[in-house]
Every structure is written in structure tokens, then in C-alpha cells.
Amino acid sequence: MALPLIVIDMQPIWLAASQIIEPCLNEIKLANETNSPVYFIEYHFKPDWVTGERRNNDSRFRTYDLLWNQASLKYHIIKNKMSGGPELIKTLIKDYGYLPTIKVVGVNTEQCVYSTVFEINEKTQNHILIPAHACASDGNHDIGLNLLKHLNKVIIV
């Protein structure tokens, strides 16, 4: 069964991204094995960061690109605030016609991951799976997991 994987803010500008490269690569491998799409949500700091040229010339994106290059079926979503919820909801509804069960990984657990999942949780009828080992934080990962546990559609795996 295809289970969309959502990868949030794995740009190396977030120190926590380097802590979960292997777990995220493993989740991408699982997505590839089931022909599941991988949606990369990237924080948009400045306009030149969304061009192909910046990926070739900016060392800050090596981690992100490592993950991007491993995904078979992939989509890129740009956000300009902490939550990528509105952009992700719009994309998933366009692709599926509804909000499917999803799996979410990335950084920062108590900020970007939580705020994105919070917005999806408010709109979906399906589960949101959070592999705790594939999320990390520059702040407080445990607080983020505790916040996520209180959302009614979230399952920490």
C-alpha cells in the first residue's frame, strides 16, 4: 500500500537534520519499495534558494539533496512559515482528492513538524504516523513528541 512520506525541513541549516540522515534514508527506502510518493517540504528563506542553481553551488543543501536523490517518486513543496500544513494539504488534495494516511519525518519536532502535523490533524479523517527515530530538534525533541501524542489522529511509531 502506498503511504505518502512527508520529509520536513531537512536542510542542513538545521543542525538536527544531521542527526537523522540514516533514519530518514531508511524511511525513503521503505517508501520506494512500496511506490509511495515522498513530499519534501522546504523552508523558503530567500528567492535564490528555490532555483536549481543553488542546489549545485550551496553546500547547505548537501544533506537535503542526499535524501532527495534517494527518493524515486518525489515532490518539492516550498513553505514560507513554520508550518507547511496549508501547502501540504493543498498538494495532497490535488494528488489524492482527499487527505490520505501519511508518515511524517524531519526537523524540528516541536516546531515545524508539530505545526505542520497540527494543521493536517485538524483536516484529515486518517492517521498521521510519526516515526520518532526519524524526527529531531535543535530545541526539544521530547516536548515535540509529547505535543504530537496529544493530537487525536497521530500515532507515534
Buried b (16+ CB within 10 A) or exposed e, 44-53: eeeeebeeee
Total number of domains in the chain? 1
CA dist 136 and 106 (Å) reads: 7
The residue-averaged pLDDT of 13-33 equals 93
Residue 25 confidence (pLDDT) above 80: yes
CA dist 112 and 4 (Å) reads: 18
Reference 83, options 122, 51, 55, 52; nearest CA is 122
CA dist 69 and 59 (Å) reads: 15
CB 123 within 8 A of CB 99: yes
Query: Domain containing 40 — which CATH number?
Result: 3.40.50.850
How does pLDDT run across 79-105, given as a tens digit for each residue?
888 899 999 999 999 999 999 999 999
CA dist 116 and 53 (Å) reads: 28
Full-model pTM: 0.89
The residue-averaged pLDDT of 118-137 equals 96
Residue 47 confidence (pLDDT) above 60: no
Question: Binning pLDDT at 50, 70 and 90, where does residue 3 land?
Answer: very high
**Domain that residue 111 falls in:** 5-156
Question: Binning pLDDT at 50, 70 and 90, where does residue 52 land?
Answer: very low
CB 106 within 8 A of CB 135: yes
